[in-house]
Structure 1
């Protein structure tokens, strides 16, 4: 539900921003979203004893902006409507909208198989050609017995599991007997 509300706010804000302001707002929301991992920051944002103006001034002091800008007025609106807790979702939506605008998406390759830089580059180029966008992958080593490729923004997940392959081969051999 929070994501739906955040999308509406982002859509309204994007309509008022030019390209430079869009990039700047995206960066500033990323900074603010990272602050939500600090418990004292959350205490200030959630505190009913601090008025909306003080909260928006506090947020503006954390970023490179002033209260007369579009972003400053937007933060003041969020504060007045008691929607500051939506900032992490707004940041994610800005990143998604930026990826769509630039046709540049980030994905994840995970598993217990080592991927060489050449293989990673080849996967990036193949997925880029397939979806007609620029794809960049991050690799993460974990305990998944195989490989999993995820492009959440494009709604794509591809996986190959060695355990599943073994199970299917055993099943096939048993059926053949």
Structure 2
């Protein structure tokens, strides 16, 4: 939901700065991620969007579902979001928070689709080459897509490297059409 991104950014930055100051980045990541997953649930969205419930009732429901997963600061964050009618922005807050965390930790997640299974040595080799190219530590998620015919497709944030046979055939076909 793009409309929540502008609203979410200041909350994500504030949560990130607080987590940094408290040296609790991983804990905050887990808390915000859990709360975002709760809000993403259809039933919770219906409850949080209900005009029949007060914001206090919505806040209390959210805190009850998240009981045991949020520390005192996490609960205060939920209360603040509730007071400002921003609970539905939690999935975007989490996404922005994780992006800030990845930038700080100099990490990036890359999705790798391969035509066949990659062994551990190939995966490690790929991680090292991507880390060199991107200047960050790379976490790769490998999946197999036999429709690629051969090669790899790598997606990392807004970058896509299509080294698949299917991709090369598509480019060749487009070139021949011109």
Which category describes the TM-score, using the shorter chain as reference length?
A: 0.7 to 0.9
Q: Is the 8 A contact 1:52 1:76 kept in 2?
A: no
* Gaps in structure 2 of 5+ consecutive residues: none
Answering whether residue 152 of structure 2 is matched by residue 151 of structure 1, we say no
The gaps in structure 1 that reach 5 residues or longer are none
CA distance in 2, matches of 1:82, 1:172: 52
Deviates further, 129-138 or 20-29: 20-29
Contact 2:16 2:101 in 1 (8 A): no
| Cα distance in 1 between the residues matched to 2:136 and 2:51 | 45
* Per-residue deviation, 1:109: 0.3
Q: Deviations over 1:34-55 (max 9, x none)?
A: 2244322222111122222222
Match of 2:92 in 1: 89
Q: Does 1:79 align with 2:82?
A: yes
Deviation at 1:24, TM superposition (A): 1.7
Q: What is the CA–CA distance in structure 1 between the aligned matches of 2:104 and 2:171, rounded to whole Å?
A: 42
Question: How large is the RMSD of aligned CA atoms in angstroms?
Answer: 2.6
Larger Rg: 1
Please give the secondary structure, in 1, of the residue aligned with 2:90. helix
Conserved? CA contact 1:10–1:90, under 8 Å: yes
**Structure 1 residues 3 and 111, CA gap change in structure 2 (3 angstroms):** farther
Q: 1:172 to 1:150 in 2, by over 3 A?
A: closer
The equivalent residue for 1:42 is 45
